[in-house]
């Protein structure tokens, strides 16, 4: 996609603070980090989100996510790491080029876990069945 900001970063047309690169993927600092050391990992090819991402790409990215998590933890002395991926606008995806967030966490960073809801009686069984239909 010509006007995709992450494609432009992958091609070197827009600057980024790169931390890792190989033939398939690129990792760079998020420009508005939740904490310093927040990294984005992208496939160099343009895929919009997880649904479009071929399994082969995912297989390449998975060990890099782990490698980055370990390096970020050491590099910024993080006490924990969150891995995130926003898919589609209602889930918070702003840049429509598939990307993983690898985010350092600290016990005093004042960020909160997402709030949990409760199921009504038997609702959880129905929901599990609905999902299983598509697997």
Q: Please list the active-site residues.
A: 99
Give contact residues for Zn ion (rule: CB under 5 A): 1, 4, 6-7, 46, 97
Q: Which is nearer to ligand AMP, 76 or 95 (CB)?
A: 95
Q: What distance in Å separates the CA atoms of residue 125 and residue 65, rounded to the nearest whole number?
A: 33
**What, of Zn ion, ligand AMP, none, does residue 97 touch, CB below 5 to 8 Å by kind?**
Zn ion
95 is a site residue for ligand AMP (CB under 6 A): yes
Residue with tokens 């479009």: 52
**What, of Zn ion, ligand AMP, none, does residue 4 touch, CB below 5 to 8 Å by kind?**
Zn ion
31 is a site residue for ligand AMP (CB under 6 A): yes
Q: Of these, 19, 27, 30, 41, which contacts ligand AMP (CB under 6 A)? A: 30
Closest listed residue to residue 90, CA positions, set 131, 32, 49: 49
From residue 2 to residue 21, the character string flagging contacts with ligand AMP as x (rule: CB under 6 A) and all else as - is ---x--------x-x-----
Q: Dihedral sign for Cα 28, 98, 102, 33, please.
A: positive
**93-115: b (≥16 Cβ within 10 Å) or e:** beebbbbbbbbbbeeeeeeeeee
Residue with tokens 């343009």: 46
Residues binding ligand AMP (CB under 6 A): 5, 14, 16, 30-32, 40, 86, 92-95
């Amino acid at each position: 996609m010509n006007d995709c900001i992450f494609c432009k970063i992958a091609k070197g047309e827009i600057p980024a603070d790169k931390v890792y690169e190989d033939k398939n993927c690129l990792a760079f600092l998020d420009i508005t980090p939740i904490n310093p050391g927040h990294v984005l990992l992208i496939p160099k090819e343009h895929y919009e989100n997880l649904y479009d991402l071929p399994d082969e790409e995912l297989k390449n990215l998975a060990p890099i996510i782990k490698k980055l998590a370990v390096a970020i933890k050491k590099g910024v002395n993080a006490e924990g790491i969150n891995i995130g991926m926003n898919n589609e606008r209602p889930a918070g995806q702003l840049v429509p080029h598939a990307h993983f967030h690898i985010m350092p966490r600290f016990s005093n960073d004042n960020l909160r876990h997402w709030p949990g809801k409760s199921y009504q009686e038997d609702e959880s069984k129905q929901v599990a069945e609905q999902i299983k239909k598509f697997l």
